[in-house]
Structure 1
């Protein structure tokens, strides 16, 4: 291997996996920045506390469970109670209220002479009446309570950023942007642009909500009618994408102008159909399955959909004739035409795909909130384009990878989430995102300039 080839090899690796390396660096940075003591309240923490109690108090210890009101705490309390009963503990009661209710319960037990060994709780409830001196003062006047101790699960030092719930939030947050970015990647590879996708999100959501309302869909209605409304929203946006493609190919209008017009048209139509800016509520809980539901291992359904779509899009772009044609059209449209590639048909297809995926993104977005809104999707087109560009797709066309776009969307999501966790306010975040897009475009331009110099 020559020295020039050896020098190019690391640069080639950096060019191919640079965005993934950046994503990893960001994850490491925000993990360090958010490292702090965590106080678990999940089933694992309940099992750990029950195991400690059974080990330290053999036999039949008297246990009072204290948690806050709330779904997570109630699940923790139920799991703790089940584990303690299994180990033979005597559950004396369960308090899920305010500190005053805890005090009242302890005084009642003390007055009745009930033997209490352990108050089983967690860090958030081990405050006030259960904290240090206050607990000692309260129990000292009741002989049956004097030996009682407050026990809670041990703390764990772990980054807030790397908590499973936070990682799921990041994936859920980027799902709509990432889904639509698939179509935007195809459009940009062909040297086009689609500014209408943000408005199509609103258009799709409004169509689904209004058609569901007109059909009288309610919780007792069948799923087929609701699916019909969803398909109507997706197909409607796909047809607007087809219209954009026809305007670009048949009349030679620049994609920027065409999609800017569609952006305004779709937004206006959304307000007209919704009869104003008010949300159109979808009166069935089953519609929220896609946007807010979780089915497989606690992973949000929107994230599962996103992953499936990226796998399909990756196969489309790397294993099919259409994928090769998309790259050919972006690389050199005239050469592609002379080689027999149906350039106009390919362009219409990519704009249709982009429109349909924007419609699907609108369905996911409206499903999350259970309503369609003509105001939704504002500014999304910039975030979607940013995800594509940051992911390594060249604005000059001809190059780019679908999986790179997914990494680009993850980078945007990680930065937004990390800045929120570290207390960075909205306005500095806007500056950071603007600089990020500028740097990504600058790198793309320098790379294209270097490629051009090398070829000449």
Structure 2
């Protein structure tokens, strides 16, 4: 409290320059976080609606309500969809009912509503059913509607109509449901990871347009190596790791080549990485086509389809979870923590900022400018390669068309996170917030039914707006707004007439 009062007093009565510096720092460091919170608030309001839970907690609560209604000897039929989430829901119902003394007649994982109808028609008058446990989606199926159940009871001469039970609904923003939050950040983990390397590149006043194509190249190479050289579904852990390292390693070497061309040949980074973008995409397509041709025996030319990976453990890399948190989210947080330490507590981080601030001054100060630039481009390529492995794991195959226009979203995340395109300024955790902003906007647009090609307009405009804000920050326009209250409440000097 004392510090806050001191800060306020300094801004009111102290030197204007000190206040301007403090306000500029606050705006620079926390502006993107404010935007993030405002977006969360906005989408929370516009997605406020009735929620129908289908998680394990809802299943246990539903089982308890069935026992309370029908007694401990109740006979229950569980009908859910054949999905992973519904299986967890059904297991929770069954376990809780059994623990409380109830009886589960059957658990039906329906692939279609007709499967629910078949299960209900197996009821007989000699062995009537008291309760049906399902969820809100199940009640929309014809066989579980009240009129159909009454008709079925009459046809089978049942002593009573089975009572359909569903979890209690509640009002809550769809955006803030736990499943949606996890999906938002899981599905955008590859963007966030690539953005780490892009942040370092942009801090050095560079750019890398090849990251999306390198992602595709890494995924395709990893898939081909695992399928063709390491046994496919019979591949061991060592083979999986080797295939992934080769795919990501080739992308890291591509980043090294980018850095060498920029530093040694003095070719603008825009031109070098644009060329690499086209080369990497072409190679990904060529490898995919050749692999499909290989599968067909070489008689016909293949098509650029995804190279499927038939290995359960490989899919668990992106689709598995630890302590209820998806693996991609945990990996993203770990990499951001390591990158933050690198940029703030090591000489390498200081060198990166120095090169971006003034390349010639850094060189004269003994900073190995060429090595620093090659390092950041290599790291950016490596992160793109890692994201390619994650993409292949998530979709169970290397997709040659994966990562299209990812460079747009990655650059948007970095710039929105506060990194200056002019170089020398930026924060790793700011980029994490920027990636979160991009993820939230994309999720919100999807929930509102905005088409993918229309979203491109939004992300392009976002980059332009972030660049304009970066320029306006340098002109101190925001600080002038904050200084207005100071002029109104500033005490008059002795001998002055108050205005």
Q: 2:385 is matched with which residue?
A: 359
Q: Which runs of 5+ in 1 are unaligned?
A: none
Q: 1:33 is matched with which residue?
A: 46
Q: 1:216-240: per-residue Cα shift (whole Å, max 9, x none)?
A: 4222232212212222222211122
Q: 1:388 is matched with which residue?
A: 414
- What's the CA shift for 1:326? 0.5
Q: How far apart, in 2, do the equivalents of 1:321 and 1:404 lie? A: 20
Q: 1:85 is matched with which residue?
A: 98
* Equivalent position SS for 1:409: helix
TM-score, scaled to structure 2: 0.83
Indicate conservation of the 8 Å contact 1:219/1:286, yes or no.
no
Q: 2:307 is matched with which residue?
A: 280
Q: How far apart, in 2, do the equivalents of 1:166 and 1:351 lie? A: 34
Q: How far apart, in 2, do the equivalents of 1:241 and 1:105 lie? A: 58
TM-aligned CA distance change 1:59 to 1:205, over 3 Å = closer
- What's the CA shift for 1:94? 4.3
TM-aligned CA distance change 1:63 to 1:209, over 3 Å = closer
TM-aligned CA distance change 1:261 to 1:134, over 3 Å = closer
- What's the CA shift for 1:146? 2.8
1:12-23 correspondence to structure 2 within 5 Å: 12-23=25-36
1:289 paired to 2:316: yes
- What's the CA shift for 1:110? 5.0
1:164 paired to 2:178: yes
TM-aligned CA distance change 1:319 to 1:85, over 3 Å = same
2:75 to 58, 62, 66: 62
1:238 paired to 2:252: yes
Q: How far apart, in 2, do the equivalents of 1:184 and 1:279 lie? A: 27
Q: 1:227 is matched with which residue?
A: 241
TM-aligned CA distance change 1:93 to 1:281, over 3 Å = closer
- What's the CA shift for 1:313? 0.3
Q: How far apart, in 1, do the equivalents of 2:309 and 2:150 lie? A: 54
Q: 2:195 is matched with which residue?
A: 181
1:47-446 correspondence to structure 2 within 5 Å: 47-97=60-110, 109=123, 111-112=125-126, 114-127=127-140, 128-139=142-153, 145-146=159-160, 148-274=162-288, 275=290, 277-292=304-319, 294-446=320-472
Q: How far apart, in 2, do the equivalents of 1:369 and 1:353 lie? A: 24
* Equivalent position SS for 2:136: coil
The total of aligned residue pairs comes to 451
Indicate conservation of the 8 Å contact 2:144/2:164, yes or no.
yes
Q: 1:308-343: per-residue Cα shift (whole Å, max 9, x none)?
A: 111100000000000001101111111111211111
TM-aligned CA distance change 1:333 to 1:102, over 3 Å = closer
- What's the CA shift for 1:107? 6.0
Q: How far apart, in 1, do the equivalents of 2:427 and 2:284 lie? A: 33
Q: 1:21-69: per-residue Cα shift (whole Å, max 9, x none)?
A: 1111111111221121111222211211221222233342333333344
- What's the CA shift for 1:88? 1.9
- What's the CA shift for 1:191? 0.6
TM-aligned CA distance change 1:111 to 1:285, over 3 Å = closer
* Equivalent position SS for 2:176: coil
TM-aligned CA distance change 1:400 to 1:217, over 3 Å = same
TM-aligned CA distance change 1:109 to 1:366, over 3 Å = closer
Indicate conservation of the 8 Å contact 2:208/2:269, yes or no.
yes
Q: 1:138-191: per-residue Cα shift (whole Å, max 9, x none)?
A: 446777533753322211212221222211111122111111111111111011
* Equivalent position SS for 2:172: strand
Quick check: 7-16 or 103-112, which moved more? 103-112
* Equivalent position SS for 1:394: coil
> CA RMSD for the aligned pairs?
2.6
TM-score, scaled to structure 1: 0.90
Quick check: 142-151 or 36-45, which moved more? 142-151
Q: 2:298 is matched with which residue?
A: none
